[in-house]
A and B are shown apart, each in its own frame.
Chain A
Amino acid sequence: MPTFFEQLIFGHLPGTLATVIYDLILCGGVFLPAVSMLAMFSIWWERKVAGHIQSRLGPNRVGPIGLLQSVADGVKLLLKEDLCPRDADPILFRLAPYLVFAPVFAAFLALPFGPDMTFEPRLNVGVFWILAILSVEVMGIILAGWASNNKWSIYGAMREAAQMVSYEVPLGIAILIGIMTAGTLNLVRLGWLQSGGLHTWLIFRNPFAFLAFGVYFVAGLASNKRAPFDLPESESELVAGFHTEYSGLRFSFFFFAEYASMFVVSGIQTSLFLGGWNDPLGLIGLLYPRFHAAFAADPSLGAALPLVLLNLVAVGIFILKCLAIVFVQMWIRWTLPRPRIDQVLYACIKVLLPMACVLLLGGALWQLFVPEMPGIPWLDYQPWHVTTWTSDGASRLAASITQVLLALIGLSIFTAVLVWIGYAFVTGRGTPQRLTDPDEIPELAANP
């Protein structure tokens, strides 16, 4: 089956040479700039969030509200000298940054940005592929620490290895709970399964998926080396951990990879639990099949336009959801202190792992005893026409009541967090600004 964009451009499933050229253009012309832009935007945003949390303004000189700060930093990093320490292993030292960045970029190729906005929608093992590729990234970080031939770097690399190997287990089990609820590994198919409105999002399908969302979030933080789990680069004890010896462009590869992988991990979370590209009302799931049928009947540009627009809206929704999760990650980073490495491993093996296992068992039993309506809402049945499908049995009624209840709980938590942030913003505006000029400080001015 050709995808919609292949159909639009080629009219049919393209030949191999056309596929290669199309893929190369897509990779180099769309994905690489988009990934870089996202990473740069996240870096700027992190600094802005940090600034506001610490009662500062953050970057505000280059461009409007400091938006171009990352570009300026990029130019600075490009112009810096590319150092390789004398006692480092030169080949591995130079190789490591690419081994960190390339897998993250490859992981982006599987993320479902929209119904047709996926690099390879026919990839049947999407979620598993991203997990696999992210485990290659760890290799690069360990190598960077090792090749630097620096004790801080090696400590950072060893912590990274220990942390990654242990947190991959709860991460994988949490993903498994979502997969078990959905019954597919294909990320595009996962998106369609959640297209029937808020209550069909996988996080609200059963209580175990709801809790697994939290487990995934914590394990994802740890696998991204984000604070409070940033032990591999804890600057108060290890200088900068595994990238102590790096400078210039090679350092920026690590920096980019960190922010890009934050986005990838939130991307899995979004597409697995938070409904992917779907809006809470399920409008995309409702409109897409109609537009697609119109396009299939009359493959002209006029019929393709609504589909393209719908895809763009879907991409916007997906990125917005991911950035919301990335924001929470930043918020946590600038709020919580850093634990010791043994506490981090304790939290994984003795708290998160048993929790994930219990949730996995619960999720399996739930699937067994409380089955849901099969098929895709809006496409196979109308989710709001309860009368047509509750007669099948009490268990389906229980499943849908649970879904609605969980959706309400989730919605109220979300609203509460929004109100909380809004309250902080409003009250933060009212606090007097810090004064730095001694002449303006009243106490000093009164008693010189």
Chain B
Amino acid sequence: MSAVLFYIFALLTAGSALLVVISRNIVRTAVALLFTLIGVAGLYFLLNAEFLAAAQLVVYVGGTLILIIFGVMLTSKSPFSRFEPKFAEVMLAVVIAAVLFWALCLAYLDARPAFAANALSYSAGYPVGQLGVELLGDYLIPFELISLLLLVVMIGAAYLAKGRRHTADEPEPKS
């Protein structure tokens, strides 16, 4: 049964990922990406990684994707703005994708024996508490570094959003 579900989710992921590439309409691309992310979350669920699945939805769907659409809404001139990629851009994308695919294949072939050995070790599901203990124990320094990075980004964004200060000789623009 989980095999059937796996194929359904895999098909959803792959099919909508293909749509992301093919579609010329930016918002439709974002919606196809939504289904890709949901498919990947479903795969995580099948692997008993519930926390990862929920985190995938919160971070990518609830955060990143909404920001993408928000950006499109604020910047595009017409509601149905389209991509018109040049030939050189397409070729560059193809080369990068091929290299990435080759690297993933190599990594998979390399790690296959390890996968086979560990396949059943997480079948009981991850205890979420263990995740927190690991994050604040063994991986404390990377965790804190990431939070520091996010803080810097936030301060930077707030500074940029604040805009230029108006001096006394330069009148404030009337809105």
Chain A residues proximal to chain B, CB less than 8 Å: 16-17, 19-20, 89, 91-92, 95, 99, 122-125, 128-129, 131-133, 135-136, 138-139, 142-143, 146-147, 149, 154, 157-158, 161-162, 164-165, 168, 183-185
Are A164 and B66 interface neighbours, CB within 8 A? yes
A-B contact pairs, 25 of them (CB 8 A): A17-B1, A122-B125, A123-B50, A124-B51, A125-B51, A125-B54, A131-B54, A132-B53, A132-B56, A132-B57, A132-B62, A135-B58, A135-B66, A136-B34, A136-B38, A136-B62, A138-B66, A139-B66, A142-B66, A142-B70, A143-B27, A146-B73, A161-B66, A161-B70, A165-B67
Q: CB-CB < 8 A to A122: which residues of B?
A: 125
Query: Given A132-B54, A135-B61, are A157 and B73 neighbors across the interface (CB < 8 Å)?
Result: yes
Are B58 and A19 interface neighbours, CB within 8 A? no
Q: Mark B76-106, 1 if CB is under 8 A from A, else 0.
A: 0001100000000000000000000000000
B128 at interface, CB cutoff 8 A: yes
Apart from A124-B51, A135-B58, A165-B63, 13 more pairs, CB < 8 Å: A16-B2, A89-B28, A92-B28, A125-B128, A129-B54, A132-B55, A132-B61, A136-B38, A139-B69, A143-B27, A143-B69, A154-B79, A164-B66
Distance in Å from the Cβ of A155 to the closest Cβ of chain B?
Answer: 10
Are A168 and B62 interface neighbours, CB within 8 A? yes
Are B79 and A89 interface neighbours, CB within 8 A? yes
Query: Given A17-B1, A132-B55, A158-B73, are A138 and B50 neighbors across the interface (CB < 8 Å)?
Result: no
Q: CB-CB < 8 A to B147: which residues of A?
A: none
In the assembled complex, the Cα of A129 lies from the Cα of B50 at a distance in Å of 8
Q: CB-CB < 8 A to A147: which residues of B?
A: 27
Specify which of B28, B57, B70 is in contact with A135 (CB 8 Å cutoff). Answer: B57
B25 at interface, CB cutoff 8 A: yes
Chain B residues proximal to chain A, CB less than 8 Å: 1-2, 25, 27-28, 31, 34, 38, 50-51, 53-58, 61-63, 65-67, 69-70, 73-74, 79-80, 125-129
Q: CB-CB < 8 A to A184: which residues of B?
A: 129
In the assembled complex, the Cα of A185 lies from the Cα of B58 at a distance in Å of 15
Q: CB-CB < 8 A to B69: which residues of A?
A: 139, 142-143, 146, 161
Query: Given A142-B69, A168-B62, are A92 and B57 neighbors across the interface (CB < 8 Å)?
Result: no
Distance in Å from the Cβ of A423 to the closest Cβ of chain B?
Answer: 43
Q: CB-CB < 8 A to B73: which residues of A?
A: 142, 146, 154, 157-158, 161
Are A92 and B27 interface neighbours, CB within 8 A? yes
In the assembled complex, the Cα of A293 lies from the Cα of B100 at a distance in Å of 57
Residue of A nearest to B58 (CB): A132
Specify which of A91, A128, A129, A149 is in contact with B28 (CB 8 Å cutoff). Answer: A91
Q: CB-CB < 8 A to B129: which residues of A?
A: 183-184
Q: CB-CB < 8 A to A143: which residues of B?
A: 27, 31, 69
Distance in Å from the Cβ of B125 to the closest Cβ of chain A?
Answer: 6
Query: Given A133-B57, A165-B66, are A146 and B51 neighbors across the interface (CB < 8 Å)?
Result: no
Distance in Å from the Cβ of A242 to the closest Cβ of chain B?
Answer: 12
Name the residue in B28, B62, B127, B128 with the highest tally of chain A Cβ atoms < 10 Å from its Cβ: B62
Distance in Å from the Cβ of B91 to the closest Cβ of chain A?
Answer: 30
Q: CB-CB < 8 A to B25: which residues of A?
A: 89
Specify which of B34, B70, B125 is in contact with A158 (CB 8 Å cutoff). Answer: B70
Q: CB-CB < 8 A to B55: which residues of A?
A: 128, 132
Distance in Å from the Cβ of A267 to the closest Cβ of chain B?
Answer: 17
CB-CB nearest 6 A-B residue pairs: A135-B62, A132-B57, A16-B1, A132-B54, A132-B58, A125-B50
Residue of B nearest to A183 (CB): B129
Q: CB-CB < 8 A to A146: which residues of B?
A: 27, 69, 73, 79
In the assembled complex, the Cα of A128 lies from the Cα of B50 at a distance in Å of 10
Distance in Å from the Cβ of B122 to the closest Cβ of chain A?
Answer: 12
Q: CB-CB < 8 A to A132: which residues of B?
A: 53-58, 61-62
Q: CB-CB < 8 A to B31: which residues of A?
A: 92, 95, 143
Distance in Å from the Cβ of B71 to the closest Cβ of chain A?
Answer: 10
Name the residue in B34, B54, B65, B128 with the highest tally of chain A Cβ atoms < 10 Å from its Cβ: B54
In the assembled complex, the Cα of A206 lies from the Cα of B51 at a distance in Å of 27
In the assembled complex, the Cα of A422 lies from the Cα of B142 at a distance in Å of 57
In the assembled complex, the Cα of A191 lies from the Cα of B95 at a distance in Å of 54
In the assembled complex, the Cα of A17 lies from the Cα of B63 at a distance in Å of 36
Q: CB-CB < 8 A to A19: which residues of B?
A: 1
In the assembled complex, the Cα of A132 lies from the Cα of B55 at a distance in Å of 7
Query: Given A91-B28, A143-B31, are A136 and B57 neighbors across the interface (CB < 8 Å)?
Result: yes
Specify which of A95, A136, A149 is in contact with B79 (CB 8 Å cutoff). Answer: A149
In the assembled complex, the Cα of A128 lies from the Cα of B53 at a distance in Å of 10
